[in-house]
A = this chain, B = another copy of it.
Amino acid sequence: MDCTNIWKIDEKKIEKRENELHESIFTIGNGFLGIRGNFIEGYSEDFPHKRGTFINGFYEVFGIKYGEWAYGYPEEKEIMINNVDSNNIELTVDDEKIKVGKTKILEHKRTLNMREGYLERETTYETSKGKRFRLRVLKIVSFIKKNLCIYKISIKMLHGSAEINLKTGLQLKNNDFEKTNDPRVENGNSAEILLLEKQKVADKSLTQLYKTKNSDLSIVVKEKVECSGLEFENGNHVATFFLNEGQEKSVEKKTGYYFFPLEEKTDLVKYSEESFEKTAELNFEEIKKMQRNYLKNFWENSSIKIEGDPETSQGLNFNLFNLLQYVGKNGKTNISAKGLSGEGYSGHYFWDTEIYMFPFFLYTNPKIARELLKFRYNILPQARKRARELAFTKGALFPWRTISGRESSAYYPAGTAQFHINADICHALKKYVESTEDYDFLREYGAEMLFEAARIWEEMSSKDPLRNDKYCINCVTGPDEYTALINNNYYTNLMAKEHLKYAAYTSRWLENNYKDDYIKIIKKIKLSKTEVDEWQKISENIYLPEVGENGITPQDDSFLHKEKWDLENTPKDKFPLLLHYHPLVIYRYQVCKQADVVLAQFLHGDKFSLKQKKRDFHYYNSITTHDSSLSKSIFSIVGNEVGEKKLSYEYFFENVRTDLDDKHSNSKWGIHTASMGGSWLCVVFGFAGMRTYEDELSFNPDIPDRWKSFSFMINYKNNILNIIINKETTTYELIKGDKIKFKHVNKKVMLDKEKRSLILKNE
């Protein structure tokens, strides 16, 4: 992708081998709805494409077939449905069907305008009879009117005159994704899943009500098309008109998708009628203006401005724009590994949210961060049920992968065994409460999930008599999935330790400050003081694998005993290893898919000396394949911290353009949201060296050699701080708020009403 304009993504040619990738990249969405960048006129059969329309939280439930069953395996899993497709017209010019891949294209340009939030394309076609016309399509999935997708379709005759026939409707045969063995991809089968319950055709508009077979979800899809001479034919809008050379005709098509996630009880049909009636009154220009205003506000708070690195700037803009496009903002949905841009990972939410994406929202759009945590609160009932299935007598175990709360991982060694998800979520909660001081959230939702999640560690940890009765956590899988079912994963144990500590602290804080809330919660979840004391005790006495003679922090009890994988002599086509070696081979070696110890050292860097981090960074860096798109960002951040400036920037640069440059050769299945979140982390936590250890904001700025300056804003304790980092100095500006304390390098500083800005040397 070229980057002449950092706010735009341009495509200048439609090419077979890149089309599916570009469909992912040109997906537009709003956190509720996502529509892949399929060309609206459709494709010839042999032209590679993957149609896709996705609604966040809308899924079907499928039975899981196992080679061999075992107790407690999830019997069903959720898969995000490839939904009703509005992104299509049947365009006929003089009885000739126009299709990408069949009709001759003379010129083409497609642009994703990220600053204003719309997709625009112009394609000049020539028919077999030599007539030329230009097809222009503008498309918006509205951030303000979340149910709406609006299309403005114009056809202009450039050479010759022709009869144009335009048919538009709602299609259900989305699912033309090919089958694959790759466990990271999963296809639903929309045509068989969505059952049409009702269809109404009236007054230029079409309404369809669909239901799913198993998950019992309903969706109403409404379509309104404005165009003179419009007629209805079998549920499709059809217009036939004649255009002379130079004449142009435009059509506005509006589609409304209505669905309530997590079982809201409101009448969907009624609600959709009222809502769509109002929304459909707005025309394209009005929607476009609303979109622009919404994004203006977003970019003001969220953008990272860099002087001297347009490729990176474009990459960052694309990443942050996509995070906004795919994040659920209603407390009932979350953000999936591929957003709403493809069927990869079945549309599931993972720990990716809390560890890789949450910080971006927290420090730029804290309201969205709140909704992400609220989602976890809302799935507590299923998490409690899952804990019982795993023989925990109390507490809640969050699903490793899910849409509505049901554990949907069908390979437990790299799924359910990643118990660290409980601690990851509570880590995000702690950061949220500290940064926003939203104690209402903690009282109403946070504390309950914090306590319930902590109970899992209580029952999982056991005193090891061979280790002075330290508490150990056995048979888990850490973030690095190239080692599974091991004991005392460093990351897991440290995260659990901090989780338990925070849970015990919060319990006492609640008791002292909000006695009523405290009593309500402990009654509801039958929590005793002894239990809270136990949390404290475990937290203080949890075992952390000890640095041995070689000076390295062990990833787990056995990791450093194993043989190192011979990465140097592994052919390139054998990566990612998971697609080319049996788990029994991979697990036997010292080889990492992604950051594990190094991730712990990022999240809890204050618990390690710089020397230790340095040693561990080099060690683990040498045995990590980065087969996961979650890996390089963390190595970039910690690399920068330990003085590996060049490598740090390299990792960052590869990470920031993961999807634009298709670094993992699989973005056609959907973009990588966690990697996108990671790129923001790289700049803010990496180069700017921001940390919030012990609730204390600090910066340790550095700047990549290639950059002249960079700046970004941070929302912290209801202040907004603008940070501008140059080669020599850093400028801090208090944009909003009365007072903010933080550290620059190791110096305590403060900004307030009087002193709103400050320029400091970068050490």
Query: Which A residues form the contact surface with B (CB < 8 A)?
Result: 64-73, 77, 181, 183, 389-391, 409-413, 415-417, 460, 462-467, 472, 474-475, 484-485, 487, 548-550, 557-558, 560-563, 578-585, 587-588
Contact = CB atoms under 8 A, between A and B. Distances in A.
Nearest to A474: B588
Q: Which of A467, A584, A587 has the most CB of B within 10 A?
A: A584
B463 A581 contact: no
A70 B549 CA distance: 36
A542 to B, nearest CB: 14
A460 B588 contact: yes
Contacts of A484: 485
Contacts of A472: 561-562
Copy number of this protein in the oligomer?
A: 2
A564 to B, nearest CB: 9
A70 B582 contact: yes
Contacts of A584: 72, 390, 412, 416-417, 475, 485
Q: At the interface, is chain A mostly helix, strand, loop or mixed?
A: loop
Given A412-B584, A485-B587, A71 B474 contact: no
Can you list the 6 inter-chain pairs with the closest CB atoms, starting with the nearest? A67-B410, A72-B582, A462-B563, A68-B411, A65-B65, A475-B588
B66 A67 contact: yes
B67 A581 contact: no
A67 B465 CA distance: 38
A206 B416 CA distance: 56
B466 A71 contact: no
B582 A71 contact: yes
Contacts of A467: 561
Given A412-B584, A588-B474, A487 B68 contact: no
| Chain B CB within 10 A, most for which of A77, A417, A466, A548 | A466
B464 A561 contact: yes
Contacts of A67: 64-67, 73, 77, 410-411
Given A412-B583, A463-B563, 13 more contacts: A64-B67, A65-B66, A67-B410, A69-B181, A71-B580, A71-B581, A389-B582, A412-B582, A460-B588, A462-B562, A474-B588, A475-B588, A557-B557
A611 B581 CA distance: 44
Contacts of A72: 581-585
A353 to B, nearest CB: 21
B474 A558 contact: yes
A576 to B, nearest CB: 10
Contacts of A563: 462-463, 474
A389 to B, nearest CB: 7
A270 to B, nearest CB: 40
Contacts of A409: 68
20 contacts: A68-B409, A69-B181, A70-B183, A71-B583, A72-B581, A72-B583, A72-B585, A73-B582, A391-B582, A462-B562, A464-B562, A465-B550, A466-B549, A467-B561, A472-B561, A472-B562, A474-B588, A475-B584, A485-B587, A557-B558
